[in-house]
Chains A and B, each alone.
Chain A
Amino acid sequence: MQIFIYQLKLLLRNKPMLFWTFAFPLILATFFNLAFSKLNSADSFDPIDVAVVIQKEDQSFQSLLDELSKENKDQLLNIQYVSVSKAQEMLKDKVITGYMLVDEELELVVNDNGISQTIVQSVMDTYLQTKQSMKNIASFNPQVMGQLIQHNIQQDFFQSQRISSLDVTVVYFYTLIGMTCMYGGFWGLRVSTNQEANLSRQGTRVQVSPISKIRIMLTGVIAAFLCQYCAMIILFAYLYYGLNIAFGDHSLYIFILMAIGSLLGIIIGQLIGTLLKCKENTKISILTSVSLFCSFLSGMMIVDLKYLIQEYVPILSYMNPVSLITDALYALYYYPTYERFFFNIALLIVMVFILGITSILISRRKKYDSL
């Protein structure tokens, strides 16, 4: 117990590090939230602004346009009738997506490619195509034309299985949780520095004391875990209450996940500390790069990458702790069942186990010729 308190004191005395492990994820989360504040609504559909230039009246086309721009929940277009010069000006100022020229032939004028332009084109296509179909029918079976007029050509054949929770931006926040777990490695690194005789004064003293190495290590890991887990809980509270990020309804599972994740991060840090024989500079930069690279592969910078890796190189995502944590959170949020969540958890536990044993074995063997 005494050793544990000392280990904890050693960690807590390092004020700048304490501050940064707590503040760092919060700051990043805020940045993410800022970046996605508008993106969340980018998916939803707004009526498209279009100008119409009439050079030759086309009654049926105009009535179609009027139908589509009626103000209701299915409103597709937002049209205004103007002159050519006005339309060109509006297009240049990007007030409208494009303008339609109604003459002998229909024509659409735009100045960019995009989905809105395509929708406008598709509206005009529909009109032309239906006209052609009618013409065909009239040519070989004129008598049915009369009853076809009543036929509804705007029938809807689809029924949506309303799927909810499709907000892809949450994944960024999930990778952030995964990354923060990995940054727990800094505590692990510190712990290993504090207990290896060749790395610090405290380590020398600890090593000559008559205490078993496993006890030193365990107390160190527990102390580091305590610090790290506090940081995780604060981060989670901030994400959940402060930024209103959706997590599904199972906070208990998330707390378990964060505990395993933090433990894994610390053990990885400790392993880097004991295994590698290089300067602290290099160790820190390795730890940072590894956790960043893992986060990158789980979709922190480009969210599509998570899907691509899962699809084409799944083994990479099973070996990547950040990706496992991200995927577990994603499964809780999006999936109705828990299989995928527990699968991820199981893999994480296996990792903790293997790396933990390795770390113990390595530090057991260590002997110092001279202190």
Chain B
Amino acid sequence: MIVFKNYLKVTRSFLSTIILYTLIFIAIAIMTTVSGSQQSQSFVTSQSSIALINHDQDTELIQTFQKYVQTHAQYVELEDSDDQLRDALFFRKVDYIMIIPKNFTDDFLNGKDIKIQTMEVPDSTSATYSKTLMNRFLNTAQLYLSAGISSHDLTHYIQDDLNIHTQVTMLNENHDGQISQARYFYNFSNYSLLAIIIVVISMVMISFCEDKIHRRHLISCVSYQSFNRQLLLGNVVVTLGIWLFYVMISFLLYQKAMCSIPGLLLVLNSFVFTIFVLIFSFFLTKLTHEREAISMISTVVSLGTSFIAGVFVPQEFLAPFVLNIAKLTPTYWFITGNNQIAQLSQYTMTDLFPVFMNMGIIVLFGIGFYFFTQFISRFQLKK
């Protein structure tokens, strides 16, 4: 087992890479599960984020207005500096910024035509919504004022009226919040599994393929067959080790969801995908022996597929022709499989069929690359 031991030793030099990718991965997973879609059984209004910069005095009208913003939207505190406002808007930390001019309250109460300056993403849905929402407050106020109500009573009436809401019924499909979080976790694992396994497997294999080392192996007393078998064992053990590590993290994070049928299906799906990645990494070592090239290929493959197949950008936001291109990568089928699993409500054969079909397609990709590898190595041997 000397080759196998040596294999693990070489792998150890990649520990820093593995840890770093895992850190990135966990950070992404946690960030998206925290901010990501919170599915709930009853209807929850979406709140746009609104900031209010007041250049007027702290009048009663403005206080009520502020309170209104706080109850009907996500109130964002921002510093009154152009840099801060611009940055927040660019990164969509705020959808709508209102800058109340000096003497606004007086002018407003006297019915003068006065405008509040706003900054927003032009024509965006959330800005349109915020504008309607904020106009409603001011219009109601104006309505009462023209009916001759004093500005003092105004606040009380407005608050009462604007707290009336339409009843909303939700026709529910069965959504389990945690399973969809676990789905995000597994979707993101596409990125790190690809990146880590390609780098580790390919780089280690290249170390063994270096001419001098290869020749040294050939004259050693270890038979060629056993040598290859031990290498294969090393590959499989390392790959599955990394995979198992990720599965364990998912069980730690989403205990309840992972111990159910869809959770186990997610694990199975990622297992199939991991096997594919292993075969693909093997294929790459046949393609090139340059370490720098491998490093860049792994970045291109992992980031590229993650972007076009629905990991970083959800599939529903991708243009149809992009998805068609993505169908040429196993990542697409892996992600689609995960999404289907998360939406399963029954586990009959007909429901599960598409899930298994997706796995089947990944397996086919694996077989394809396997034969490709065989073909190339045959070709190289002849040389």
Contacts and interface: CB of A to CB of B under 8 A. Distances in A.
A241 interface: no
Contacts of A128: 164-166
Interface stretch (A1-9, A26-34, A217-225): A26-34
Contacts of B170: 109-112
Interface string B45-66: 1111000000000000000000
Interface string A293-307: 100100011111111
Given A125-B166, A166-B89, A144 B138 contact: no
B200 to A, nearest CB: 9
Contacts of A293: 20, 23-24
Interface in B168-186: 168-173
Contact of B139 (A92, A155, A190, A340): A155
B312 interface: yes
Interface string B18-53: 001101100110011001000110011111100000
B199 A301 contact: no
A282 B13 contact: yes
A156 B115 CA distance: 8
A107 B318 contact: no
Contacts of A285: 13-14, 16-17, 199, 203, 295
What interface size band does chain B fall in? 35 or more
Given A38-B317, A44-B124, A289-B16, A24 B300 contact: yes
Contact of A168 (B91, B306, B308): B91
A304 B13 CA distance: 32
A164 B312 CA distance: 26
B135 to A, nearest CB: 6
Contacts of A144: 146-148
B144 A133 contact: yes
Contacts of A112: 170
A121 B292 contact: no
A160 interface: yes
A284 interface: yes
A280 B291 contact: yes
A20 B91 contact: no
A130 B292 CA distance: 67
Of residues A35, A155, A159, A162, which shows the largest number of chain B Cβ atoms within 10 Å of its Cβ?
A: A35
Contact of A159 (B117, B288, B290): B117
Interface string A160-174: 111110101000000
B125 A115 contact: yes
Contacts of A204: none
A351 B173 CA distance: 55
A121 B45 contact: yes
A242 interface: no
B118 A107 contact: no
A59 interface: no
A105 B167 contact: yes
A158 B173 CA distance: 39
A168 B92 contact: yes
B90 interface: yes
B300 A28 contact: yes
Nearest to A145: B147
Nearest to B200: A285
Contacts of A34: 307-308, 319, 322, 325
A292 B299 contact: yes
Interface string A34-66: 111111001111000000000000000000000
A107 B165 CA distance: 10
B133 interface: yes
Contacts of B288: 16
B368 interface: no
Contacts of B306: 301
Nearest to A330: B90
A292 B307 contact: no
A113 interface: yes
Given A157-B114, A159-B116, A122 B129 contact: yes
Contact of A125 (B118, B131, B165, B195): B165
Interface in B279-333: 288, 290-293, 295-300, 303-304, 306-308, 312-313, 317-319, 322, 325
B374 interface: no
Interface in B131-146: 131-136, 138-140, 142-144, 146
Contact of B135 (A27, A43, A155): A155
Nearest to B206: A281
Given A110-B43, A124-B166, A288 B295 contact: yes
Nearest to B191: A301
A246 interface: no
A91 B40 CA distance: 18
Nearest to B121: A166
Nearest to B12: A282
**7 smallest A-B Cβ distances: which pairs?**
A307-B91, A31-B304, A35-B307, A38-B319, A159-B115, A124-B166, A16-B290
Given A296-B27, A301-B312, 8 more contacts: A34-B308, A34-B322, A106-B167, A160-B120, A166-B121, A302-B312, A303-B91, A304-B31
Interface of B: 10, 13-14, 16-17, 20-21, 23-24, 27-28, 31-32, 35, 39-40, 43-48, 83, 86-93, 98, 114-126, 128-129, 131-136, 138-140, 142-144, 146-149, 157, 160-162, 164-173, 191, 195, 199, 203, 207, 288, 290-293, 295-300, 303-304, 306-308, 312-313, 317-319, 322, 325
Interface of A: 14, 16-17, 19-21, 24, 27-28, 31-32, 34-39, 42-45, 76, 88, 91-92, 105-119, 121-126, 128-130, 132-133, 136-137, 141, 144, 147-148, 151, 153-164, 166, 168, 183, 186, 190, 278-282, 284-289, 292-293, 296, 300-307, 310, 330, 334-335, 340
